[in-house]
Amino acid sequence: MRVDPWLRLRFNLAMNKKIALVLILLFGAGLNSFAQTNSTPGAPTAGIVAATKKFLATLDDAQRGKVVFDFKDEAQRKRWSNLPTAIFKRQGLRMGDLTKPQREAVLAVLAAALSPQGYEKILQIVEADELLRKSSGERMFGRDEYYVSLLGQPSTTEPWMIQFGGHHLGLNITLAGEQRTLAPSHTGAQPAIYELEGKTVRPLGRETDKAFALLSSLNEAQRKQAILDFQMRDLVLGPGRDGQTIQPEGVKGSALTEKQRQMLLDLASEWTGILHEAVAKTKMDEMRKSIAETWFAWSGPTEKGSAAYFRIQGPTVIIEYAPQRLGGDATKHIHTIYRDPTNDYGRKWWKP
């Protein structure tokens, strides 16, 4: 089975960036300049702006008119979903309607804005949907059915936004100067496990494994608090639930050991770490400060690898992970949501 070259190219780019980062960790700051040349560690907004302007330069006037929305366009800001495009209509530019250089320019924008592991995760989600297209024969799935849009003009000072999404993906990246947020964003996968040249790929595999590891670390008293005794059939605060906040449940961070708190933060980093390292670290520092007020809840079976729902909720974060029981194996169809109840769409940075 042949993979579109643009995808391979970006996979390779991601891997190069990851290797550079590993080298930095291994050999210290001396290689920092190498990494900055070959990737975008720290990723100042200027780099993302440059990549976005480069993408815009590949477009004709009509395409630019379709991809750029007014920053105040609330309808477009909220136009994202877990559903495929045949069911939920996106606006912006469809990847399948772009030329190869244009698609590569879109991916370069994502590569600039995301961490290597975040970028890899996004590509794996898209690739899962491509497999779904091939297995189902349904045209509403697949790499072509992802849309890119911008709200506002790329800027190092004024707020603007990058949206990229389709089935099982709704990335909403708001930038305001050097501040950036991914909230709210949706990730999902179907199939959530597939083979790629004999190797198993699990776009949301680390999320799953880390959650089960945290659950298994809980003692009986903690589990009694964490495990909810009712079914969670879907995300509570998924797409379309902007502005709502629920009462937290489960076991509170203050009842966890220091090691368990670290495990909880590490689990959350699978979402916060989709964005580039510099901003991900800021977000993680913020979460660490309120870890005692952060809750972990679980619903469903507790055997490792089974289909179970979990939620992380703290003052500045809500994460949900919900396997979908829709006739098939729920472990192979997963929806997640990431929100910041204090700063979805970066509103605290720009709302008057």
- Count Cβ atoms below 10 Å from residue 302 Cβ, excluding itself: 14
**Closer to other proteins by Cβ: residue 162 or 201:** 201
Gap between the terminal Cα atoms of the chain? 52
**Closer to other proteins by Cβ: residue 127 or 161:** 127
Instruction: Give how far the C-alpha of residue 54 lies from the chain's centroid of Cα atoms, to the nearest Å.
Output: 23
Q: How far is the CB of 10 from other proteins (least distance, A)?
A: 10
Q: How far is the CB of 32 from other proteins (least distance, A)?
A: 18
Per the structure block, which two tokens stand in for 28? Answer: 């210290």
Q: How far is the CB of 137 from other proteins (least distance, A)?
A: 7
The residues near 139 (Cβ < 8 Å, ≥ 6 apart) are 86, 133, 145
**Closer to other proteins by Cβ: residue 127 or 277:** 127
d(CA 79, CA 199): 35
* CA 181 to each of CA 97, 214, 230, 281, 345: distance values in angstroms, whole numbers, following the listed order: 28, 26, 32, 12, 7
- Report DSSP state, residue 114: B
Q: How far is the CB of 291 from other proteins (least distance, A)?
A: 12
**Closer to other proteins by Cβ: residue 52 or 76:** 76
Q: How far is the CB of 15 from other proteins (least distance, A)?
A: 5
Provide the CB-side half-sphere exposure for 189 (13 A, CA). 22
Q: How far is the CB of 314 from other proteins (least distance, A)?
A: 7
Q: How far is the CB of 6 from other proteins (least distance, A)?
A: 13
Strand partners, 150: 68, 162
The residues near 28 (Cβ < 8 Å, ≥ 6 apart) are none
Q: How many residues does the chain have?
A: 352
d(CA 68, CA 132): 30
Per the structure block, which two tokens stand in for 217? Answer: 């670390």
**Closer to other proteins by Cβ: residue 49 or 344:** 344
Contact 208, 193 (CB under 8 A): no
**Closer to other proteins by Cβ: residue 99 or 244:** 244
Sign of CA dihedral 345, 346, 347, 350: negative
Peptide bond into 323 cis (omega under 30): no
d(CA 352, CA 348): 8
**Closer to other proteins by Cβ: residue 8 or 304:** 8
**Closer to other proteins by Cβ: residue 98 or 123:** 123
Q: How far is the CB of 88 from other proteins (least distance, A)?
A: 5
Q: How far is the CB of 234 from other proteins (least distance, A)?
A: 6
**Closer to other proteins by Cβ: residue 220 or 230:** 230
Q: How far is the CB of 175 from other proteins (least distance, A)?
A: 22
Long-range contact set of residues 328-331: C-beta below 8 Å, sequence gap at least 24: 331/192, 331/193, 331/305, 331/306, 331/307
**Closer to other proteins by Cβ: residue 219 or 290:** 290
